[in-house]
Amino acid sequence: MYRFALDDLKKWRSKPNRKPLIIRGARQVGKTHLVRLFAREMFSHLVEINFERDPGIASLFSTNDPKRISRLIELQFDIPVIPGDTLLFFDEIQAAPAILASLRYFYEDLPEQHIMAAGSLLEFVFEEPGFSMPVGRIEYMHLGPMQFEEFLMADGKDRLTDWLNDFSPGDDMPESVHRRLTGMLKTFLVTGGMPEAVSVYLNSGSWQECESAKHALITTFQDDFNKYGSRVRHQRLQTLFRKIPLIVGQKFKYVNIDRNERAGDLAAALNLLCHARVCHRVCHSSCSGVPLGAMADEKKFKALFLDVGLMSSAAGLNLLDFEKAENMMTVNAGAVCEQFVGQHLLYSLPSYRQPELCYWVREKRNSSAETDYVIAEGTSLIPIEVKAGKSGTLKSLHLFLREKHQSLGVRLNTGLPSVLDTETALPDGLNIPYRLLSLPLCMIGQVRRLIREQLGRM
């Protein structure tokens, strides 16, 4: 299955100042598949070393001489290691942390050799006492679940993907195309973007087999809890893992997780799940400028789960729930759609950027407000609301635009795309002009491009 990150890897291959690349992401998001796809297209040879499956292979790296290491790898795998022609791929590198530190010598002494590494739970390795990170000698790529357009392409809907990529507000979106995209979106909300679940569904056409694959993935993540060592009780992790899919979109309160647990203990467990990228904090930001994360309040946050399909399974939802609903955004109080939007926005920045997402909340008596998400595009701050139906109140978006002196807001719903130049509608009458970009949920992958287009026209 094609991944957009493949284009980033091709650019990395030809960079004159290329460094060893580490792909970071949760387990089972497709890191290994991506590297193999890249190697088939761009190299004559691939040497893949899995340090979890074969821990003894780490002995090949006992020297700091990259040329000697390359010769030993050739002897071990009987594959020529030729700079520019062979890709060295170190998988599950968290099982041999010392190998990470040795990457600096490849960069310094053998920079022409293409090297990639991947692993799960890498954040745990980085925090270990005494771990020596080769700062400035490696670079990163962050990989999440498949995006909606990647799902369309995997299902052979390349023309729909091309149409989305070329669309601009003002173009006509035929009702038939809108219905077709909405139907595919409902399917994606259930399958999600985990490559194995997508592959099983597309190859079998069976929802039962897809559901079985997703539950197997959920069990895999739970089985990983024993790899977190003595950091936190497993039961605490299990409790959080079960509850987070049910509270997406809500302000996170530890008391709603387990009244019998101390907030500090639950916070430590949540940190581990976030390190493993099983979930993500969406922190409140004062949004007084960029970067948004610099003004984030880590004590005031919402949680996102890893993937919308896994969330649907954890919440006991299936395709019938979305088909029977008059408006799919009302399913599970709209939390599924907020998850769908959030996981796309998390990975909407270039892949070398750490995934990060914020929202804005004002908690004042008789004047509270909350936008679902806020993203930055250049120096502009863009509030994004996920709304049921074609209308719905936009009071919070209006308050944000006025208080932060911004002029563009985004609404995601089930309607047709549109652009409206209007005024905020606040009861005190102190209204300002702004532009509202309304997009159907199926266009979430185009949001940043379309925002840039609108900012360029304002």
- pLDDT tens, position by position, 363-417: 777 778 999 999 999 999 999 999 865 555 799 999 999 999 999 999 999 999 9
List domains and CATH numbers for the chain.
Answer: 5-142 (3.40.50.300), 149-457 (no CATH)
For tokens 């507000």, the residue is: 169
Report pLDDT for 127.
Answer: 67
List b or e across 369-401, with b for residues whose CB sees 16 or more CB atoms inside 10 angstroms: bbbbbbbbeeebbbbbbbbbeeeeebbbbbbbb
| Res 430 pLDDT > 60 | yes
Asked if omega into 245 is within 30° of 0 (cis), the reply is no
Of the candidates 75, 72, 61, the one whose C-alpha atom is nearest the C-alpha of residue 20 is 61
Contact 71, 47 (CB under 8 A): no
Q: What is the mean pLDDT of residues 429-438?
A: 95
Contact 158, 184 (CB under 8 A): no
Assign 356 a pLDDT band (cuts: 50, 70, 90). Answer: very high
Report pLDDT for 125.
Answer: 72
Q: What is the mean pLDDT of residues 87-103?
A: 90
Q: Which long-range contacts (CB under 8 A, 24 or more apart) does 158-164 make?
A: 160/184, 164/442, 164/443, 164/445, 164/446
Report pLDDT for 129.
Answer: 60
Contact 356, 345 (CB under 8 A): no
Q: What is the mean pLDDT of residues 14-21?
A: 94
Report pLDDT for 32.
Answer: 96
Could you give the dihedral angle defined by the CA atoms of residues 339, 451, 167 and 142, in that order, rounded to the nearest 10 degrees? -50
Task: Report the length, in residues, of the chain.
Answer: 458
The span from the CA of 355 to the CA of 350, in Å, is 9
State the angle between helix axes of 175-191 and 335-346 in degrees (0 to 180), rounded to the nearest 10: 90
| Res 281 pLDDT > 90 | yes
Could you read off the pLDDT of 80-91 as tens digits, one per residue?
999 999 999 999
Could you read off the pLDDT of 211-243 as tens digits, one per residue?
999 999 999 999 888 777 566 778 899 999 999
Amino acid letter, 344: H
Q: What are phi and psi of 95, to 5 degrees?
A: -75, -10
Contact 406, 434 (CB under 8 A): yes
Contact 402, 429 (CB under 8 A): no
The span from the CA of 157 to the CA of 152, in Å, is 5
Separation of first and last alpha carbons in the chain: 38
Average of per-residue pLDDT values in the chain: 92
How many other CB atoms are there within 10 angstroms of residue 289's CB atom? 13
pTM reported for the whole predicted model: 0.94
| Res 253 pLDDT > 70 | yes
Report pLDDT for 308.
Answer: 97
